[in-house]
Structure 1
């Protein structure tokens, strides 16, 4: 399975999700999986000093993205809009900071997070899982360029972004850099901390 092409893997995932709620067993299927690098090529869109979100597949049950990270780039602290999320390292190295919600944070407004629990650095084949009960984290590419594969059990169009200093969170619309391999026109830069997820 380690030499599987991206398209073949997405088809298997679609079959697994066919008509069933949730995506049981996705984490097991991702564990240790490093897809054939040439099959990722259409979705590899890097931006200096940023990371990009590149849509591979989306339907009502499932969303698959390939994120491309410049070395040292990081996501804001964010949740996943109540969806299950699997994060698979395809290349490079990442550090994850996982947060617990201590107060607020179920919608925009006051939010207090516990101290982060740091995981990593993690390399190719590592899989992280975010569930509705523990959704909040920040991802940093410590070695790059880096590539991560993301699977959501249902599309995620918005998420909460957390500011630990101000103890608040805001809702942010998520954007793609490319859709099905085709880059989109650049959007105006949003004010910090709304780095696209």
Structure 2
């Protein structure tokens, strides 16, 4: 039996988190992301801000999972989107976020299913069978969230409000950890 079980000790550093996720299976990711308690702010070297749009900053990317720091200025939000069939966990690191979940009806129209607010250390979960979602920084300051995707997401569908349809979007990082 492995005596170094990640489930017994919560990760406390970014390196601990990456090791726990790398050694764990997808079924353990929910427990790991909920249990991580950072003893200090390990994200400073990944931070990048833009007044135009939130930034996607890659911390770690492998075939199993992708860990992204998203930096949000006041009022910034995502378009309504899916996750290309993959699982997504969002952990709030700083600020307050609103998540809105939508379902598409038989006519292709979107209806709001649920709206919730998340604050420090709270985690939300999303997978495509649950619908589509959008996130918005409700804070009157810069905020950060940690996104875990299992497996990495290279493209998704976003709702285009002009055409009132979903369009394919290739995803890019604003910064990549070296």
TM interval, short-chain normalised: 0.7 to 0.9
Q: Tell me if structure 1 keeps the 8 A contact 2:17–2:36.
A: no
Residue number in structure 2 paired with 1:189: none
Residue 119 of structure 2 corresponds to residue 119 of structure 1: no
Report the equivalent of 2:87.
84
Answering whether residue 144 of structure 2 is matched by residue 136 of structure 1, we say no
Measured after TM superposition, the shift of residue 135 of structure 1 is 4.3
Q: Which moved more, 1:131-140 or 1:72-81?
A: 131-140
Q: 1:27 touches 1:127 (CA, 8 Å); kept in 2? A: no
Query: Which residue of structure 1 aligns with residue 172 of structure 2?
Result: 175
Q: Residue 153 in 1 paired to residue 161 in 2?
A: no
**What is the deviation of 1:131?**
1.5
Using the TM superposition, give the Cα deviation of residue 178 of structure 1 relative to its aligned residue in structure 2, in angstroms.
0.4
CA gap of 1:86–1:3, structure 2 versus 1, over 3 A, is closer
2:49–2:73 contact (8 Å) kept in structure 1? yes
Q: Structure 2 CA distance, aligned partners of 1:12 and 1:3?
A: 7
Indicate conservation of the 8 Å contact 1:49/1:71, yes or no: no
Matched, 1:95 2:91: no
Matches within 5 A, 1:1-197: 4-17=12-25, 23-31=26-34, 33-103=36-106, 111-120=108-117, 122-143=118-139, 144-163=141-160, 166-180=163-177
Question: What is the TM-score with the length of structure 1 in the denominator?
Answer: 0.78
Cα distance in 2, alignment partners of residues 16 and 175 from structure 1: 26
Q: CA deviation at 1:4?
A: 1.0
**Partners in 1 of 2:78 and 2:121 — Cα distance?**
20
Gaps of 5+ in 1: 18-22, 105-110, 182-197
Q: 1:91 to 1:140 in 2, by over 3 A?
A: same
User: For the aligned residues, what is the CA RMSD?
Assistant: 2.0
Give 1:164 deviation, angstroms. 5.2
Closer, same or farther: CA 60–32 of 1 in aligned 2, 3 Å: closer
Cα distance between partner residues in 1 of 2:37 and 2:164: 37
